[in-house]
């Protein structure tokens, strides 16, 4: 069993006890303090870059000459190599729980939906006496 320490309450939590709401993009919740947390791997950028180079290198070693199949093969090989390297790197530096960081930017679909909303023109607020508030 994998246990994590909650960054909010400091309690030890089994990985299976983390509560996950519907969907995959919302993070998880600590079962004790109900704060949002996420699992952080040790070397995410390094693993992504190394796995990309390993996928390209493996296809070049097989003497693949078509650019189309090189791109498709790299995309297909990149995911399993990356998963393997993440699992292997967790032997040296285990994954931890970190505090959930809310997004600071809107996705394309959020922008698209908000763009089509009907907006009324802004008018100055007036109090009961008919004067504009400042």
Residues 6+ apart with CB under 8 A from 14: 1, 2, 3
Q: What is the pLDDT of residue 19?
A: 80
- Beta-ladder partners of 12: 5
CA distance 7 to 38: 10
**92-94-24 Cα angle (round to 5):** 135
Q: What is the pLDDT of residue 50?
A: 95
Q: What is the pLDDT of residue 57?
A: 94
Q: What is the pLDDT of residue 16?
A: 83
Q: Is the pLDDT confidence value at 15 over 70?
A: yes
Q: What is the pLDDT of residue 95?
A: 83
Tokens 């070397």 appear where? 43
pLDDT in tens, 34-76: 888 888 887 888 999 999 999 999 999 999 889 999 999 999 9
> What mean pLDDT is reported for the chain?
82
């Amino acid at each position: 069993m994998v246990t994590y320490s909650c960054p909010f309450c400091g309690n030890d939590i089994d990985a299976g006890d983390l509560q996950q709401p519907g969907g995959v993009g919302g993070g998880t919740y600590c079962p004790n303090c109900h704060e949002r947390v996420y699992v952080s791997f040790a070397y995410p950028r390094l693993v992504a870059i190394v796995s990309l180079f390993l996928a390209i290198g493996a296809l070049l070693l097989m003497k693949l000459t078509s650019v189309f199949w090189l791109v498709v093969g790299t995309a297909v090989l990149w995911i399993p190599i990356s998963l393997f390297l993440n699992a292997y790197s967790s032997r040296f530096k285990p994954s931890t729980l970190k505090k959930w960081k809310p997004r600071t930017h809107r996705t394309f679909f959020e922008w698209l939906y908000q763009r089509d909303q009907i907006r009324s023109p802004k008018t100055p607020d007036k109090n009961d006496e008919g004067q504009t508030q400042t």
